[in-house]
Amino acid sequence: MVNFGNMMKQAQQLQKKMAEAQEKLNEIEVTGSSGGDLVRVTATAKGVFKSVYIDETLLKKDEKEILEDLIIAAINDAKTKGEQAAQEEMKNLTGGLPLPPGMKLPF
């Protein structure tokens, strides 16, 4: 017979660990870059963007579209790195067990 008291205790511990993992994702910062590091975007692992760096050499009127494309590429790079950091944090939480394919993190 299953001890429901132990199950509830384990569920509460897991819930606490999940909350701690969510907070940690707010603290983990990743930097995405494009154009050979001429454009960099910094964000948290939860996807909150913190800063954008644009090298002065890109600030030419006739290269506006190139700059816009590089910014989008840097944002996407940062997003990918943030997702990877979040997955790594979740692996730490689950004792190294990877999430099933297609399963999204609850945060």
Domain boundaries, the chain: 28-93
Give the distance from CA 8 to its chain's centroid: 30
Lookup result for tokens 């579209």: 65
Report the predicted TM-score, pTM, of the whole model to 2 decimal places: 0.60
Lookup result for tokens 């944090």: 89
9 token code pair: 């205790």
**How many Å apart are CA 86 and CA 47, to the nearest integer?**
10
Helix axes 64-93, 4-27, angle to 10 degrees: 150
CATH 3.30.1310.10 fits 28-93, yes or no: yes
In the DSSP assignment, the letter for residue 64 is: H
Q: Splitting the chain (107 residues) into consecutive groups of 10 residues, what average pLDDT does each group show?
A: 76 81 84 93 87 89 88 90 85 66 53
- What is the per-residue pLDDT for 13? 82
**How many Å apart are CA 61 and CA 69, to the nearest integer?**
14
- What is the per-residue pLDDT for 68? 87
- What is the per-residue pLDDT for 7? 79
